[in-house]
Amino acid sequence: MLDVLARRAVASGSLGAVSAGSRTAAAIGASAFLAGGNAFDAALAAALSETVALPSKCGLAGDVVALYVTAGASAPISLVAIGGASAGLYAAAEAAGWEVPATGPLSVGIPGAPAGYSRIAELARLPLERLTAPAVELARRGVWWSPMNATLECEARTLLYRYQPDGCVYSPRDAKHTVGDMVRLPGLAVVLEEFVARGADLFTGPVGDAVVDCVQRHGGMLTARDLVSVDVAEEAAHCVQTESGPLWATNAPTYGPALTHAMAGRVVSDVGPGDVRRSLADLADTKTAAAEGTSTVAAVDEAGNAVVLVHSLSFPQYGSGLVVGEYDLILSNRAGRGFTFAPGHPNAPVAGRRPLTTLHAWGIGHRDGWILGATPGGQQQVPWNVQLVAQLLDTSDDGEQAMGDALVTPRWQLDAPGDVRHEGRELGRFEARSSHTLVRTATSRCAAAADPRWDGAAVAV
């Protein structure tokens, strides 16, 4: 059975391949190759479709982190599009005695996603309108409510009703959605069309006005001035050497440095839970939790371009819990989740400072090219990535099926205080909520792979 799942996890083709946390999004991404697009077209089309197909996990009011290589490049590039602290957050936190909830109006982050998606669009071939059109159509016609969507809606109903007491499109008051429902999101279609028109400046228009009004009505202090375009941090990804070869990862403030710190100079198969805990503790004061406010997309093309994109509304589900009703827009809680609310702390919410984020992506080389990957999962991202990267570093030259084999290997995850739970023991088989997407470049073949644990899929053409 594991062999069958491993084979099904991988898709190979000659033109391009894409994997995503949503099967619908993966198919939409693959269609970009047939229209003449490259890996960046496929990744962006899939990612924008995921903002509709997986609305509780990612969206234009969230953030984007990516790792990419262009054809012939000698090293990957780290891309981080995360908004900094709003101008009034530090004073508001101080007035609240530094007791800022992880959700709610003070938790709302400045969205970096429009700037991040716009930068990916600059590396693509097709017009942004063409890449956005499938997501717009999906929002208007209705998205199929997947098992993941149904699970996360159930887990977030209390949070959503706290700020939308009459219910909202994502969780109606009279009855929750069930698997297979078709959920129409016409307001989100309008937001996507505004993104085509305004790009990185999405929130300088009417959508931004509605966001500010929503946050302030609930007692927050976000202003229109806070929502100016976010600067994208784009630079060479950092690299460490392991006993099995080099490992690249996205740069701070992502948790890429926690991943590489745990594995630097090590026999990768020896890296265990204690090493990961120490690496996370060295990075910041962290809370161990599994979270489902994130999704990932990866794509590769025949020329050798490859990208893995992590986009997120943060933690736990449905971000801050605030929904801008006329736009079906879920607001992230990057600020409430990411900052350390303590005076003078290096991760305190000083105006303009970007918070630490568990989001990160990684890359390794093999004799014919690159493997790039990432997973959602909050604090579990580093543990799950450590395990997958270790296996791939030792088997990356065995071909594309090594990705499928690695994806079906049982995982362990960290739980506080100090507990470790293993699939097949403390957890049931495939009960870890990892959802890796991977891509592999090669001379004459493209491959993508998706974790079989949830709703992801890989498609190749």
In this prediction, residue 444 carries a pLDDT of 82
Domains of the chain: 1-460 (3.60.20.40)
List pLDDT tens digits, range 353-381.
999 999 999 999 999 899 999 999 988 99
Q: For 371, phi and psi rounded to 5 degrees?
A: -125, 125
pTM of the model: 0.96
Q: How far is it, in rounded angstroms, from Cα 62 to Cα 429?
A: 31
Angle at which helix 39-53 crosses helix 128-141, to 10 degrees, equals 20
In this prediction, residue 1 carries a pLDDT of 67
Q: How far is it, in rounded angstroms, from Cα 307 to Cα 44?
A: 10
Beta carbons within 10 angstroms of residue 98's beta carbon: 14
Positions of E strands within 256-404: 294-301, 306-312, 323-324, 329-330, 362-366, 369-374
Positions of E strands within 96-173: 143-144, 167-168, 171-172
Q: How far is it, in rounded angstroms, from Cα 95 to Cα 339?
A: 16
List pLDDT tens digits, range 375-404.
999 889 999 999 999 999 999 888 899 999
Q: Which of 356, 409, 389, 437 is nearest to 276 (CA)?
A: 389
List beta partners, residue 78: 67, 235
pLDDT in tens, the chain (461 residues): 678 889 999 999 999 999 999 999 999 999 999 999 999 999 999 999 999 999 999 999 999 999 999 999 999 999 999 999 999 999 999 999 999 999 999 999 999 999 999 999 999 999 999 999 999 999 999 999 998 899 999 999 999 999 999 999 999 998 899 999 999 999 999 999 999 999 999 999 999 999 999 999 999 999 999 999 899 999 999 999 999 999 999 999 999 999 999 999 999 999 999 999 999 987 765 443 445 579 999 999 999 999 999 999 987 789 999 999 999 999 999 999 999 999 999 999 999 999 999 999 999 999 989 999 999 998 899 999 999 999 999 998 888 999 999 999 999 999 877 799 999 999 999 999 899 999 999 988 999 999 999 889 999 99
Instruction: Identify whether the C-beta of residue 15 lies closer than 8 Å to the C-beta of residue 461.
Output: yes
In this prediction, residue 289 carries a pLDDT of 44
- DSSP state for residue 316 in the 8-state scheme: S
* Count of CA atoms in the C-beta half-sphere (13 A) of 19: 37
Q: How far is it, in rounded angstroms, from Cα 116 to Cα 346?
A: 25
Q: How is residue 430 written in tokens?
A: 């495939």
Instruction: Identify whether the C-beta of residue 68 lies closer than 8 Å to the C-beta of residue 40.
Output: yes
Q: How far is it, in rounded angstroms, from Cα 239 to Cα 363?
A: 9
Q: How far is it, in rounded angstroms, from Cα 35 to Cα 409?
A: 36
- DSSP state for residue 458 in the 8-state scheme: E
In this prediction, residue 96 carries a pLDDT of 94
